[in-house]
Structure 1
């Protein structure tokens, strides 16, 4: 991948971080009166309607080959169904800002996955040092969280669920890069359609959403998740991944914790804890070390 980035690339990167960073606040609002699997199903279904509508309006044809649909099914499960449920469930037990910070580990997961699953984004000793700093960030995050609340199995599961979410997002990014179909509208629509086919029956069977009594705020939050954090975010994700690569896209996690913390602080009155900033420093240092380009000496004339 080239290092000469267009300003438009960075605009898309910021937009994706804004869509994803605000999702944790919306999940926190929605989960107060809507079950987590139902939230995930609702946002995926709304996202599928939006992206599929855009694809049809702009003349983008949906995939035709069975292999492409199977790939979109796998990406839909790993990149939407599982992580969307995990986030919605986890924010019941932790602050939305903490959930956003956990997403900042995605670039380090991406580095490791890209080494195994791609031919042009390989690992190195320098990147290993970056991963070590990322691990220190995880440790400080877990320590700070456990120190300030009563430890419980549910808390541990929520934290590990958030880390798993970051891993699944990273895996999804690498899988998207390897797709042969590079049309972002076509592939993102197919992904959300297949994810809807999987998650809607699960939500109906396991949570019986018709028995819930959602508030207006929860319904609005779910719609916002579907429109911005799922539908439009999926389109931007596919488009940006195809033109820049999975690792560059993972840099939006520099911004996601900041967006998530700001949203939680402004709209949910969540406290900004010192341990959050310490963990971010470790994680961002790890990402910088892992991705810092070695300078190439110019020949002396």
Structure 2
């Protein structure tokens, strides 16, 4: 249901902005300084990393099984390298291309739909929206390379602040956001997601992109489902099928 998502997404980001702003007090004056040319990149990143993917995924997953959604979102590294080659004239090596293909093959093994091709074609519109989300993430990773100076905390604070400024009016226009009643446990989960899923991850993403580039960072999309399944096995006692073990093995080899 879009109601909860539209309100929770900007709320989570506002929380992270508050945490980042608090951390900024411990940074030097030089680290807090922002290049004026970065503000245009902040807006572009906010749109392609947060606003568009959020809308596409929230709408696409209404009609697409989670297994198919995982496969389609797993195409982020594929689109990242295609955009780098097509629009940024970057030459890619055969090991990079092979690694991407192996990683995507592992994602396919991990999340192959229960009903096979039937699930894949149940919702063409939903599939297209999720592919657009993967493309949007690819663009944002490339643009994040532009933020090559200054503090990652400051950069991500500014990006999420802009994204929240865009999402809050959307939630007020398209949904009855003020009628959302969160339980105490849901509020706690929202705080946890805000701190770790948005706060810590975005700062680490920005730092990793600086050191290794957008393409290498995009490979993290292949690691997430593996970690999720391992944690589910140990903490939630979920079963691991042979198919999933093969998928994790293929991703590990890439």
The TM-score, its normalising length taken from structure 2, stands at 0.76
Kept after mapping to 1: 8 A contact 2:141/2:214: yes
Task: Find 1:109's aligned residue among 79, 92, 113.
Answer: 79
**1:63 and 1:182, CA in 2 relative to 1: closer, same or farther beyond 3 A?**
closer
- Alignment-derived partner of residue 14 in structure 2: 45
Deviations 1:56-109 (A, max 9, x none): 4324425352x3212101101101122234444555556666655544432222
**1:214 and 1:71, CA in 2 relative to 1: closer, same or farther beyond 3 A?**
same
Aligned partners of 1:275, 1:36: CA distance in 2, in Å? 32
Deviations 1:215-272 (A, max 9, x none): 3333332222211111121111111211221122223233201123345667778775
Residue 195 (structure 1) shift: 0.9
**1:145 and 1:55, CA in 2 relative to 1: closer, same or farther beyond 3 A?**
farther
SS of the residue corresponding to residue 255 of structure 1 reads helix
Residue 192 (structure 1) shift: 1.0
- Alignment-derived partner of residue 299 in structure 1: none
Aligned partners of 2:149, 2:190: CA distance in 1, in Å? 30
- Alignment-derived partner of residue 216 in structure 2: 248
**1:270 and 1:214, CA in 2 relative to 1: closer, same or farther beyond 3 A?**
farther
SS of the residue corresponding to residue 144 of structure 1 reads coil
- Alignment-derived partner of residue 295 in structure 1: none
Q: Which runs of structure 2 are paired with 1:81-230 in the superposition (5 Å)?
A: 81-90=51-60, 99-100=69-70, 102-118=72-88, 121-124=90-93, 144-147=113-116, 154=123, 156-230=124-198
Residue 126 (structure 1) shift: 5.9
Kept after mapping to 2: 8 A contact 1:101/1:257: no
- Alignment-derived partner of residue 54 in structure 1: 23
**1:76 and 1:110, CA in 2 relative to 1: closer, same or farther beyond 3 A?**
same
**1:253 and 1:139, CA in 2 relative to 1: closer, same or farther beyond 3 A?**
closer
Aligned partners of 1:163, 1:50: CA distance in 2, in Å? 32
Pair 1:75 & 2:26 matched: no
Unmatched tracts of structure 1, length 5 or more: 1-30, 289-301
Unmatched tracts of structure 2, length 5 or more: none
SS of the residue corresponding to residue 147 of structure 2 reads coil
**1:139 and 1:243, CA in 2 relative to 1: closer, same or farther beyond 3 A?**
closer
- Alignment-derived partner of residue 63 in structure 1: 34
Kept after mapping to 1: 8 A contact 2:152/2:207: yes
Number of residue pairs aligned between Structure 1 and Structure 2: 252
Kept after mapping to 2: 8 A contact 1:55/1:189: no
